[in-house]
């Protein structure tokens, strides 16, 4: 406890400059012992607490003070002090004489032969019961009296009228322990950490990164990663704003909303200068407000002025050096180019679809609670599910786990007028392997993956290998698939299957795509673009190829090219706009690290030759019709729709005669003949 002075003592001048720098009151050893803490009352309403030092030159009954003095205590052990720094030159000591700085007087210290004054603004301390080993709260609380120890954390702030320029860290608190892996960041992780923890850029004259753009498919964790960056850095609580929330129907309000986001950072930089902390602003769906300027014809120009306001705040004439802007979007191609240059959103990071290892980790995270409560059956293999969920995003994997849980719960719901749960069976609820695969088959489909229904209809009758020509087409297709997978020099491989109508080109293309087992397979077919305008067709084709670029391995089947081009022999006429768009897409190489196989089909090779489209394909494979009687009989043998007597009669009639029929047309004729009377069918086949 404190020792109050029971009798008035004579105030004296501190005997030495060294004792003045200790910020202690000085007494004679006959009055008090060194290290004691005393309360000195200067008036009924003003009291100060001092630590004592002894010196023989002080007259007994006197207490010596320096001009600026310290205020300390021992009630709590303080772990966080905030000071306001004022430059105090020796000749200006008289300016602080008789000045009352209650409740926090000044401290003084020497640095580089100059004296500096400190004004304590605020103190925080932990619950003292923790120091005794007792259970207490870790929440900091405001205190009025504290003892500064060696492990106390001190944060300095520059006074508004000070000529000092503080450099280094703004706060002495330790970085939060954010258990997060940023393996994709690489070098840029160091750039981000340098915002508050790396002191090298300041001496080197470098500025920290002001902006990051996170882009990629929906559901891959862009928002989660942006929030984690905010936690990872020792900065203010991030401001998270959705792009559309900025827009306002009133003139000037959209720009004002942008200014409000940066107001706190501006005020702190004006007050603290280089010692200001980092302010993180996170824009979700930033493409909603930062579209290319001048791209929206007939609009009021609100988007353009919002972009201008944002650019001026990040890197304008009065630029801010204490901000980190994180933008997130699924469409980086829509964002104004000026926003992506160095000094603004200069770090562009793609948050792509997780690979097999990533899918395993995500599924493991979402099934932890199920394993803890023994709700996951033993036959569920997370590694197997990771293999089967190619091109699933993180959100889709989470949805798969939910769907499997719902499938398992449905087994315990009684079918009646109202929903009832069979509690006896519910106690033994287990999510099995079958529940996951049932959800995979019926409920959850990847937005950027392979939808078997797209190409299953093209090969519902299977591939009939009626001769060597069909086998050669499949073998050549397999060779091109392997080239796409293994070759680093040819990330783009394209092949054109050409042949007469009804020869089975589309079925062979779908079969090659299916056997490739690529994570992404899409068929660009004219039957899905009926009624589309030329512009809509171009946009639909571009979207298919853009989606393909998001996957490591992709296959796009461009079916019936002449129909996509609206070609008719009368004229001839075709869509030049679609032709030019398709030529660009066929020749455009995928991004770095991505590989793409394009399979095109056409029945009018001569037309594509005139349009100079054949040069856009790496190779061309001819798919012929059935041309001989032996090939026809081989097809009938594989189909198995005729009896031996019927096949013998057909063989006698086609022996040595030329045949020219497509496999698709043959299947149609066979199905028609099966509807006839058997005797008439044999006679008709003859």
Among residues 310, 293, 303, 309, which one has the least CA distance to residue 344? Answer: 310
Q: What is the DSSP secondary-structure string of 298-365?
A: TS-SHHHHHHHHHHHHHHSTT--SSEEEEEEES-GGGB-GGGGSTTSS-EEEE-----HHHHHHHHHH
Cα–Cα distance for residue pair 215/68, rounded to 1 Å:
56
For 646-683, b/e burial (b = at least 16 CB within 10 A) is bbebbeeebeeeeeebbbbbbbeeeeebeeeeeeebbe
Cα–Cα distance for residue pair 418/664, rounded to 1 Å:
51
For 534-552, b/e burial (b = at least 16 CB within 10 A) is eeebbeebbebbebbebbb
Cα–Cα distance for residue pair 214/351, rounded to 1 Å:
7
Length of the chain: 686
* Identified catalytic residue from 121, 425, 528, 587: 587
- Residue 559: active-site member: yes
* Identified catalytic residue from 313, 505, 511, 522: 505
Cα–Cα distance for residue pair 307/598, rounded to 1 Å:
38
**Contact assessment for residue 84 and residue 159, using Cβ atoms and an 8 Å cutoff:** yes
**H-helix or E-strand spanning residue 485:** helix 468-486
Q: What is the CA radius of gyration of the chain?
A: 39
* Identified catalytic residue from 336, 560, 595, 602: 560
* Identified catalytic residue from 239, 445, 664, 665: 664
For 17-34, b/e burial (b = at least 16 CB within 10 A) is eebbebbbbbbbeebbee
Tokens in use for 229?
């960056």
- Cα–Cα distances in Å, from 500 out to 471, 504, 604, 627? 18, 9, 8, 12
* Identified catalytic residue from 284, 435, 547, 559: 559
Sign of the CA dihedral running 65, 66, 71, 77? negative
**H-helix or E-strand spanning residue 409:** helix 394-410
Among residues 180, 490, 215, which one has the least CA distance to residue 330? Answer: 215
Cα–Cα distance for residue pair 280/209, rounded to 1 Å:
12
**Is 630 in a helix, a strand, or coil?**
helix
Residue 355's φ and ψ, nearest 5 degrees, are -80, -170
- Residue 587: active-site member: yes
- Residue 357: active-site member: no
* Identified catalytic residue from 329, 407, 450, 506: 506
Among residues 468, 474, 464, 460, which one has the least CA distance to residue 663? Answer: 464
- Residue 643: active-site member: no
CB-side neighbour CA atoms (13 Å) of 202: 16
- Residue 605: active-site member: no
- Residue 249: active-site member: no
Residue holding tokens 């394209």? Answer: 494
**Contact assessment for residue 66 and residue 139, using Cβ atoms and an 8 Å cutoff:** no
Positions annotated as catalytic residues are 505-506, 559-560, 587, 664
């Amino acid at each position: 406890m404190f020792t109050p002075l029971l009798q008035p003592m004579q105030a004296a001048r501190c005997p030495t400059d060294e004792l003045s720098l200790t910020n202690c009151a000085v007494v004679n050893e006959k009055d008090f012992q060194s290290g004691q803490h005393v309360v000195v009352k200067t008036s009924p309403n003003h009291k100060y607490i001092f630590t004592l030092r002894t010196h023989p030159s002080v007259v007994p009954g006197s207490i010596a003070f320096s001009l600026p003095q310290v205020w300390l205590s021992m009630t709590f052990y303080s772990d966080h002090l905030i000071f306001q720094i004022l430059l105090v030159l020796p000749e200006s000591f008289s300016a602080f004489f008789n000045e009352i700085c209650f409740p926090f007087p000044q401290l003084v210290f020497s640095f580089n032969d100059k004296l500096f004054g400190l004004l304590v603004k605020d103190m925080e301390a932990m619950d003292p019961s923790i120091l005794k080993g007792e259970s207490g709260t870790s929440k900091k609380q405001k205190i009025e009296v504290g003892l500064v120890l060696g492990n106390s954390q001190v944060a300095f702030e520059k006074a508004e009228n000070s000529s000092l320029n503080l450099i280094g860290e703004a706060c002495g608190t330790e970085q939060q322990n954010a258990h997060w892996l940023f393996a994709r960041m690489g070098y840029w992780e160091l750039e981000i950490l340098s915002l508050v923890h790396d002191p090298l850029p300041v001496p080197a004259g470098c500025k920290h990164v002001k902006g990051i753009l996170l882009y990629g498919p929906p559901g891959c964790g862009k928002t989660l990663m942006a929030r984690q960056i905010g936690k990872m850095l020792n900065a203010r609580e991030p401001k998270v704003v959705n792009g559309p929330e900025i827009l306002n129907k009133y003139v000037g309000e959209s720009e004002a909303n942008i200014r409000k986001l940066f107001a706190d950072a501006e005020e702190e930089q004006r007050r603290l200068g280089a010692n200001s902390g980092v302010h993180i602003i996170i824009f979700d769906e930033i493409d909603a407000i930062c579209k290319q300027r001048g791209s929206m014809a007939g609009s009021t120009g609100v988007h353009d002025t919002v972009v201008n306001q944002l650019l001026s705040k990040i890197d304008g004439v009065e630029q801010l050096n204490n901000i980190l802007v994180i933008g997130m979007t699924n469409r980086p191609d829509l964002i104004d180019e000026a926003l992506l240059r160095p000094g603004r959103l200069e770090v562009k990071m793609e948050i792509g679809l997780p690979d097999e290892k990533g899918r395993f980790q995500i599924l493991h995270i979402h099934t932890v609670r199920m394993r803890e409560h023994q709700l996951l059956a033993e036959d569920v293999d997370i590694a197997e599910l990771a293999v089967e969920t190619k091109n699933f995003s993180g959100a889709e994997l989470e949805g798969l786990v939910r769907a499997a849980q719902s499938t398992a719960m449905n087994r315990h719901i009684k079918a009646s007028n109202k929903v009832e749960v069979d509690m006896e069976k519910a106690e033994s609820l287990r999510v099995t392997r079958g529940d996951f695969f049932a959800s995979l088959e019926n409920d959850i489909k990847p937005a950027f993956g392979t939808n078997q229904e797209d190409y299953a209809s093209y090969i519902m009758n299977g591939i009939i290998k009626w001769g060597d020509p069909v086998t050669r087409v499949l073998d050549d297709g397999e060779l091109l698939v392997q080239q796409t997978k293994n070759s680093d020099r040819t990330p783009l491989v394209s092949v054109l299957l050409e042949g007469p109508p009804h020869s089975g080109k589309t079925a062979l293309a779908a079969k090659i795509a299916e056997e490739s087992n690529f994570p992404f397979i899409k068929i660009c077919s004219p039957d899905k673009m009926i009624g589309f305008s030329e512009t809509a067709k171009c946009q639909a084709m571009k979207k298919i190829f853009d989606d393909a670029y998001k996957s490591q391995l992709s296959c796009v089947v461009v079916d019936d090219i002449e129909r996509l081009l609206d070609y008719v022999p009368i004229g001839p006429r075709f869509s030049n706009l679609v032709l030019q768009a398709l030529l660009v897409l066929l020749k455009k190489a995928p991004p770095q690290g991505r590989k793409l196989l394009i399979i095109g089909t056409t029945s009018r090779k001569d037309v594509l030759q005139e349009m100079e489209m054949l040069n856009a394909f790496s190779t061309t494979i001819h798919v012929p019709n059935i041309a001989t009687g032996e090939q026809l009989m081989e097809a009938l043998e594989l189909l198995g729709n005729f009896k031996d007597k019927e096949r013998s009669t057909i063989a006698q009639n086609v022996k040595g005669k030329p045949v020219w029929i497509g496999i698709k047309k043959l299947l149609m004729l066979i199905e028609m003949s099966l509807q006839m009377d058997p005797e008439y069918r044999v006679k008709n086949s003859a």
